[in-house]
A and B are shown apart, each in its own frame.
Chain A
């Protein structure tokens, strides 16, 4: 079940972490029979990749608007979980502290809400928030891109979710 990309946005609407797994390394793609052809799959994503850093801003704008619309229609407690296009599925999880976790996967993927929550609880809080020497806020991603967090995230995505 390929994961295409992953974003974290902080309460100041800034993208503090971004990770993309496509094009997947050939070694992994070769082993997995389910791996999609990077060319055939998310062509839409391929285009945003070319657009550079703008994709994070676009993703934020999308989830921010969608979340606000959902709350207008369904009440303050309501939240959207995911949406799908013909090319990908976007999963969303927001903490009460307004940190937003976004993951893009292929269409066949089951709900990633629990997975995103796990990333928050077991990886983000443990390795980023509790690191006493990392700053409290992460302008430009400072403090989030530490080895423990990145390695664990890599493992989580390649082993647990694969």
Chain B
């Protein structure tokens, strides 16, 4: 399936099958979660990143079922197709953004998602404590969502942000690497 076809599917589902919600509600809800985590972990941003990733993982494991139910798409033939599906259908229907897929490694196992816009980070300015700018990945929940969602469709991946406009970088970029395909689980042996 080509990237353009994926875009079309994403567009179609977004228009016809998605309940819309106020954008500020999403931004403020997510912002509140991050702020609360920063408070709970005394601005230990490594820990905040970790917690966000964990929460995302839980979300992703559920979200994938909704994604499949709404899109009706089958298994992707290869990781390149998966990347287009994530960017053009997944992000489109859940956040109404379509990040650019780029920077493939030659083995087709690693790619980057470049976000031109990020609804989670509207209105956000990182704290001026001299550390948040270097340590906090504000939208880290997205990495977890991808990991959880792909785990359910038998792909173990690793995802992390490498740059964020909130930190003063030129782009917001997430790096996604395929670790391995997960084998079917067998029923436990009868004793």
A95 neighbours in B (Cβ, 8 Å): 65, 68
**Contact of B74 with A129 in the complex, beta carbons under 8 Å:** no
**Contact of B58 with A136 in the complex, beta carbons under 8 Å:** yes
Q: Which of A41-49, A56-64, A148-156 contacts B (4 or more CB under 8 A)?
A: A56-64
The residue on A at minimum CB distance from B61 is A136
Q: What mask results when residues 6 to 18 of chain A are scored 1 for a CB within 8 Å of chain B, else 0?
A: 0000011110000
Residue B102 at the chain A interface, CB threshold 8 Å: no
In the complex, A11 Cα to B187 Cα: how many Å? 10
The residue on B at minimum CB distance from A57 is B187
* B residues 54-92 touching A (CB-CB < 8 Å): 58, 61-62, 64-66, 68-69, 73-75
B186 neighbours in A (Cβ, 8 Å): 13
Residue A147 at the chain B interface, CB threshold 8 Å: no
Number of interface residues of A (CB under 8 A): 21
**Contact of A129 with B62 in the complex, beta carbons under 8 Å:** yes
The residue on A at minimum CB distance from B60 is A136
Residue B154 at the chain A interface, CB threshold 8 Å: yes
B152 neighbours in A (Cβ, 8 Å): 11, 97-98
Residue A96 at the chain B interface, CB threshold 8 Å: yes
B contact residues vs A (CB 8 Å cutoff) = 58, 61-62, 64-66, 68-69, 73-75, 152-154, 184-188
Closest 9 CB pairs of A and B: A13-B187, A121-B69, A129-B65, A125-B69, A97-B152, A136-B61, A125-B65, A96-B75, A96-B153
Pick 30 A–B contacts, CB within 8 A, sort by A. Answer: A11-B185, A12-B185, A13-B186, A13-B187, A13-B188, A14-B187, A57-B187, A60-B187, A64-B187, A76-B75, A77-B74, A77-B75, A95-B65, A96-B68, A96-B73, A96-B74, A96-B75, A96-B153, A97-B64, A97-B65, A97-B153, A98-B152, A98-B154, A98-B184, A124-B65, A125-B65, A125-B66, A129-B62, A129-B66, A136-B61
- Beyond A14-B187, A96-B73, A98-B152, 12 additional contacts (C-beta under 8 Å) are A13-B186, A13-B187, A13-B188, A77-B74, A95-B68, A96-B68, A97-B68, A97-B152, A120-B69, A125-B69, A130-B66, A136-B62
